[in-house]
A and B are shown apart, each in its own frame.
Chain A
Amino acid sequence: MSRISVEEVRHVALLARLELSDDELAVLSGELSALLDHVEQIRRLDTSGVPPTAHPLPMRNVLREDEPRPGLSAAEALAAAPAVEDGRYSVPSILGDEP
């Protein structure tokens, strides 16, 4: 069965910024559907009134003092960059504005 259509897979791939071929999309549609079938067993569990656990330990208020610490030099920061111009990371033109 197919819980997740090729069109849905295409949408998710765009959200995830993964360029995939049509073949890959089709294969993923099958694989993701199978996995969702497996997950179905927990979707049916009654969890009303059960709080979610986002974090395994009950920790609170972990804070750092507002004191400067040495970081990286610009040269170290830029060393791994695929493209640099003028001390900054160069990227191809950005088409849309920040959402």
Chain B
Amino acid sequence: MSERGAPGGATSVRGIAAAVRSREATASSVVEETLERISAMDGELHCFHTVMAKEALASARALDATIAAGRDPGPLAGVPVALKDNICTKGTTTSCSSKILENWVPPYDATVVERLRDAGAVVVGKTNLDEFAMGSSTENSAFGPTRNPWDASRVPGGSSGGSAAAVAAGLVPLAYGSDTGGSIRQPASFCGIVGLKPTYGGVSRYGLVAFASSLDQIGPFACTVEDATLGLLAVAGHDPRDSTSIDREVEPLLDSLGGGVGGLRVGLIEEFAADVAPSCSGAARAAADALAAAGAKVGEVSIPEVRHGLPAYYVIAPAEASSNLARYDGVRYGLRVDAGDARTMNLRTRGAGFGAEVRRRIMIGTYALSAGYYDAYYGQAQRVRTLVVRAFERAYEDFDVLLAPMTPSEAFELGAKTANPLDMYVSDLCAVPSNLAGHPAMSVPFALGESGLPVGVQVLAPALREAAMLRAAAALEAAAPPGVRGPVKLAAAPAGAASDGGGE
């Protein structure tokens, strides 16, 4: 049988939903098998903080009853999904991998959670992340790192490393993360799966614990472009609870997947080549060639301003974060370290509750906004942001989509970049310009690097042009060499998980 098959053999989002909807499989059996797989394999990987076994089985049974009653169970019927643990789930701890929220149980569901349930998906657990999504390796979790399923000595990337690794390891076919400066795309690249950051405002942020509000977007992880698209469609669309949510109809994106790239104008961004490993720049170039072979009009494009993205990002994101994270003050929820007066209580609670990286970013953000520095740092970064946006606008006069390397390197060893924060920050180099511009971008697995690890290629598009981006992504997926994408065949995978319940 398949290494991560639903009963009946389906392993994809589309396949599972089809099997459950047609009663070839029950949602309960799919969820049971998923839970068994997680319990067998997550010990080493640590993708999950919380496995919601009871809730997931209850939802699955309810879905089966819905189907038995002849009602429509939704397009993602029975599809097990994992959520980054910064997405609020009513009644289930949402920790943000932080000691300060270790036991916090939200009294409400994020909009994406409501939409997933309405679509018939079954939330099976909450995944590990860099604390408050600040990091690029998932090593900044207060509860221990997640490991890369391709090589357990390597990081899965971050900050949505738990979700990426869970999909890459075949624990779930679909997971969600948040992308503020590459936190979906970079781990997708490291884990050999598809990760998609939608246009800013395309997916509601209501219930996503904020890191940097003007940059944050929720998006899906899946093994294929089609599954990622299904994952996006399930959660996309206007939400009146998010003022920055775009109020317009979502395109029928699945139609674009088979569209081919004939005539599509594709630009390869020149700038990053010098700054990234040859395997990464090579993958981008190979991707450009593949699209050209598939009929696209491919050219190179210079956008020098993208190089300003990283420093601008490392002012804007911490500044917004310093304000967003002020509320963790020990008064209403989360950790409190007591003291004789409120101010000292605030100081101690926050000093003790936040990890080193979060404190660092709060500090830099506070500094960048403080009297006398605002204009030099925050104000200047916002003006540079305008320059980046304008530069993209110019590039998109000539091209429909752009290609770029996704990461400066393949997945690195745990601990390799923890000594110097700046080393870690450079991981976000190729990713942040899209966040600054609010544009959609995604990572598609396209090559294997020197160490046999997957390397993704980044596809970028203008705001709301997901359709063009997905056309290119689907063509890349079709042209990619074999063995570059997950799910990984794990040595630890139990042979008969479905029959004997697995376990270690």
A residues adjacent to B (C-beta < 8 A): 4, 8-9, 12-20, 24, 28, 31-32, 34-35, 38-43, 45, 47, 50-57, 59, 62, 64, 72, 76-77, 79-83, 89, 91-96
Q: Bound state CA distance, A8 and B310, in angstroms?
A: 24
- Within 360-416 of B, Cβ neighbours of A (below 8 Å) are at 360, 362-364, 366-367, 370, 376-377, 379-387, 389
12 contacts between A and B (CB under 8 A): A13-B363, A31-B360, A34-B422, A35-B364, A38-B314, A47-B383, A52-B386, A56-B201, A56-B438, A59-B201, A64-B240, A80-B334
The answer to whether A79 touches B105, judged by C-beta atoms less than 8 angstroms apart, is yes
Partner of A56, one of B104, B214, B346: B214
Residue of A62, A77, A82 with most partner-chain B CB within 10 A: A82
Does B342 interact with chain A (Cβ within 8 Å)? yes
Partner of B380, one of A42, A83, A93: A42
The answer to whether A15 touches B385, judged by C-beta atoms less than 8 angstroms apart, is no
Q: Bound state CA distance, A64 and B215, in angstroms?
A: 23
Q: How far apart are A11's CB and chain B's nearest CB, in angstroms?
A: 8
The answer to whether A32 touches B367, judged by C-beta atoms less than 8 angstroms apart, is yes
Q: Bound state CA distance, A50 and B107, in angstroms?
A: 43
Which residues on the A side are within 8 Å of B326 (C-beta)? 16-17
Q: Bound state CA distance, A92 and B340, in angstroms?
A: 6
With CB as the reference atom, state the residue of chain B lying closest to A37.
B422
The answer to whether B436 touches A56, judged by C-beta atoms less than 8 angstroms apart, is yes
Which residues on the A side are within 8 Å of B310 (C-beta)? 38
**Given A52-B379, A89-B332, A12–B370 Cβ distance below 8 Å?**
yes
Q: Bound state CA distance, A39 and B366, in angstroms?
A: 15
The answer to whether A80 touches B333, judged by C-beta atoms less than 8 angstroms apart, is yes
Which residues on the B side are within 8 Å of A96 (C-beta)? 343
The answer to whether B422 touches A35, judged by C-beta atoms less than 8 angstroms apart, is yes
Which residues on the A side are within 8 Å of B339 (C-beta)? 92
B residues adjacent to A (C-beta < 8 A): 104-105, 107-108, 200-201, 214-215, 240, 243-244, 246, 308, 310-312, 314-315, 322, 326, 329-336, 338-348, 350-352, 354, 359-360, 362-364, 366-367, 370, 376-377, 379-387, 389, 421-422, 425, 436-438, 463
Which residues on the A side are within 8 Å of B377 (C-beta)? 39, 43
Q: 7 nearest interchain CB pairs?
A: A56-B438, A19-B351, A52-B382, A80-B333, A82-B336, A47-B383, A19-B347
Partner of A42, one of B200, B364, B384, B425: B384
**Given A17-B347, A56-B214, A41–B311 Cβ distance below 8 Å?**
yes
The answer to whether B350 touches A17, judged by C-beta atoms less than 8 angstroms apart, is yes
With CB as the reference atom, state the residue of chain A lying closest to B348.
A19
The answer to whether B387 touches A39, judged by C-beta atoms less than 8 angstroms apart, is no
The answer to whether A54 touches B332, judged by C-beta atoms less than 8 angstroms apart, is no
The answer to whether B347 touches A81, judged by C-beta atoms less than 8 angstroms apart, is no
Q: Bound state CA distance, A38 and B343, in angstroms?
A: 33
The answer to whether A94 touches B311, judged by C-beta atoms less than 8 angstroms apart, is no
The answer to whether A55 touches B363, judged by C-beta atoms less than 8 angstroms apart, is no
The answer to whether A56 touches B437, judged by C-beta atoms less than 8 angstroms apart, is yes
The answer to whether B359 touches A20, judged by C-beta atoms less than 8 angstroms apart, is yes
Q: A28-B363, A34-B421 are in contact. List 18 more A-B contacts (CB 8 A).
A: A16-B362, A20-B359, A24-B359, A35-B422, A39-B315, A42-B381, A51-B386, A53-B382, A62-B243, A62-B244, A80-B333, A80-B334, A82-B334, A89-B331, A92-B338, A92-B340, A92-B345, A93-B342
Q: Bound state CA distance, A28 and B351, in angstroms?
A: 13
With CB as the reference atom, state the residue of chain A lying closest to B360.
A31
The answer to whether A16 touches B380, judged by C-beta atoms less than 8 angstroms apart, is no
Partner of B389, one of A17, A56, A91: A56
The answer to whether B338 touches A9, judged by C-beta atoms less than 8 angstroms apart, is no
Which residues on the B side are within 8 Å of A80 (C-beta)? 104-105, 107, 332-334
Which residues on the A side are within 8 Å of B351 (C-beta)? 18-20
Which residues on the B side are within 8 Å of A64 (C-beta)? 240
The answer to whether A57 touches B463, judged by C-beta atoms less than 8 angstroms apart, is yes
The answer to whether A16 touches B387, judged by C-beta atoms less than 8 angstroms apart, is no
Q: Bound state CA distance, A38 and B310, in angstroms?
A: 9
**Given A80-B104, A91-B345, A94-B341, A54–B336 Cβ distance below 8 Å?**
no
With CB as the reference atom, state the residue of chain A lying closest to B365.
A16
The answer to whether A19 touches B350, judged by C-beta atoms less than 8 angstroms apart, is yes
Q: How far apart are A7's CB and chain B's nearest CB, in angstroms?
A: 13
Which residues on the A side are within 8 Å of B244 (C-beta)? 55, 57, 59, 62
Which residues on the B side are within 8 Å of A59 (C-beta)? 201, 243-244, 246
Q: Bound state CA distance, A13 and B322, in angstroms?
A: 11
Q: Bound state CA distance, A80 and B352, in angstroms?
A: 19
Which residues on the A side are within 8 Å of B381 (C-beta)? 39, 42
Partner of A76, one of B107, B311, B344, B463: B107
The answer to whether B308 touches A94, judged by C-beta atoms less than 8 angstroms apart, is no
With CB as the reference atom, state the residue of chain A lying closest to B347.
A19
The answer to whether A45 touches B384, judged by C-beta atoms less than 8 angstroms apart, is yes
Partner of B350, one of A18, A47, A54: A18
The answer to whether A43 touches B329, judged by C-beta atoms less than 8 angstroms apart, is no
Q: Bound state CA distance, A20 and B356, in angstroms?
A: 11
The answer to whether A45 touches B214, judged by C-beta atoms less than 8 angstroms apart, is no
Partner of A51, one of B243, B362, B383: B383
Which residues on the B side are within 8 Å of A57 (C-beta)? 200-201, 244, 246, 438, 463
The answer to whether A16 touches B383, judged by C-beta atoms less than 8 angstroms apart, is no
Q: How far apart are B401's CB and chain A's nearest CB, in angstroms?
A: 18
Which residues on the A side are within 8 Å of B384 (C-beta)? 42, 45, 47
